[in-house]
Amino acid sequence: MSERHSVDEYLETIYFLAFPIGEYTPKGAGSPPLASRVAEMLHVSRASAGEMLKRMEAEGLIERGARKEALLTGAGRERAERVVRKHRLIERLLTDFMGYTAYESHERADEMGDTFDDDMIERIDAKLGRPERCPHGWPVDPDVEQRENAELAPLAALGPGTRATIVRLAEHDGDLLHWFYDQGLVPGTAITVQRAEPAADQFTITLAGGERAISEKAAAGLFVKPA
Ligand SMILES: [Zn+2]
């Protein structure tokens, strides 16, 4: 197999793009799941993403929309929801039981996705006391996640003066996820937007430690609940 990523990882990516957060979606979130966008998120070539999407279409997991975007079929959506739930529970196993940091847990969980079958996942869920969220704030239950999406917005979509609480962190970029933790930009943190200058690729926010400038990419990956 030439792809570095499994069908499940592709499903996870398409699922993320299929359920945009908030009403206003700046670039970075909520763009249609085109092969180019999927390739960018998975750090693979456009050609290998296209090849994999073709295979997933043949397997009935996705169909192509008018703009060639990848749309989850019923079967694809069901499997994608199982995949994301599993990923979030494995992350909690890694942080709560094995002592990994939150940012380490995401990558490790991707590597371990195939290790546990559905029965094992149910046992892990029960042993962990049925956690509500992954370490990065994403609800374990995809129904809860999809309902909550409407209440959240990417920080990049907020105007100056808006106060908000960080609820979820984008996970697909490992370096960015690490940076969020380095900066203390973690779920539950209250912030205020001071200045928003997307043209200058700069957002300034205040949090407990004072003012901080963050890039638009980072602001697009912080999903917050406006106060
Ligand atoms: Zn997570």
28 or 135, which is more confident: 135
Q: How far is the CA of 35 from the centre of ligand 1 (A)?
A: 23
Residue at token pair 């700069």:
202
**Among 3-17, 84-98, 211-225, where is mean pLDDT lowest?**
3-17
Check for a shared fold between 86-148 and 153-226: no
Question: What does the CA dihedral 30, 182, 83, 43 come to, rounded to 10 degrees?
Answer: 60
Average the pLDDT over 152-161 and give the result.
91
For residue 39, CA distances in Å to 14, 21, 122 come to 11, 20, 32
pLDDT bin (cut points 50, 70, 90) of residue 198 is: confident
What is the model's pLDDT at position 23? 58
Q: How far is the CA of 138 from the centre of ligand 1 (A)?
A: 6
What is the share, in percent, of the chain residues with pLDDT greater than 70? 93
Q: What are phi and psi of 202, to 5 degrees?
A: -140, 130
Helix (H) or strand (E) holding 49: helix 46-58
Average the pLDDT over 199-214 and give the result.
82
Q: What is 153-226's CATH superfamily?
A: Ferrous iron transport protein A (FeoA) (2.30.30.90)
**Among 22-26, 101-105, 137-141, 155-159, where is mean pLDDT lowest?**
22-26
**Among 26-35, 69-78, 106-115, 204-213, where is mean pLDDT lowest?**
26-35
**Among 26-35, 73-82, 85-94, where is mean pLDDT lowest?**
26-35
What is the model's pLDDT at position 205? 85
Contact between residue 70 and residue 64 where contact means Cβ atoms under 8 Å apart: yes
Question: What does the CA dihedral 164, 165, 168, 173 come to, rounded to 10 degrees?
Answer: 70
Q: How far is the CA of 27 from the centre of ligand 1 (A)?
A: 22
CA 150, chain centre distance (Å) = 15
pLDDT digits (tens, 9 = 90+) for 103-150: 999 989 988 877 899 999 999 999 999 999 999 999 999 999 999 999
Q: How far is the CA of 90 from the centre of ligand 1 (A)?
A: 9
Strand pairing partners for 63? 71
Q: How far is the CA of 133 from the centre of ligand 1 (A)?
A: 8
Q: How far is the CA of 170 from the centre of ligand 1 (A)?
A: 8
What is the model's pLDDT at position 30? 53
Q: Is 119 left (phi over 0), alpha (psi -120 to 50) or beta?
A: alpha
Q: How far is the CA of 222 from the centre of ligand 1 (A)?
A: 13
Read off the pTM: 0.89
What is the model's pLDDT at position 180? 95
CATH of domain 7-72: 1.10.10.10
What is the CATH architecture assignment of 86-148? Orthogonal Bundle (1.10)
Q: How far is the CA of 136 from the centre of ligand 1 (A)?
A: 4
Q: How far is the CA of 104 from the centre of ligand 1 (A)?
A: 10
44 or 112, which is more confident: 44
Domain segments of the chain as ranges:
7-72, 86-148, 153-226
The answer to whether residue 200 scores a pLDDT higher than 80 is no
Q: How far is the CA of 122 from the centre of ligand 1 (A)?
A: 18
Q: How far is the CA of 14 from the centre of ligand 1 (A)?
A: 16
What is the model's pLDDT at position 5? 84
Q: How far is the CA of 85 from the centre of ligand 1 (A)?
A: 10
What is the model's pLDDT at position 206? 83
Taking the C-alpha atoms of residue 224 and residue 199, their distance in angstroms, rounded to an integer, is 21
- Count Cα atoms within 13 angstroms, Cβ side, for 135: 25
Q: How far is the CA of 66 from the centre of ligand 1 (A)?
A: 32
pLDDT bin (cut points 50, 70, 90) of residue 73 is: very high
The answer to whether residue 199 scores a pLDDT higher than 80 is no
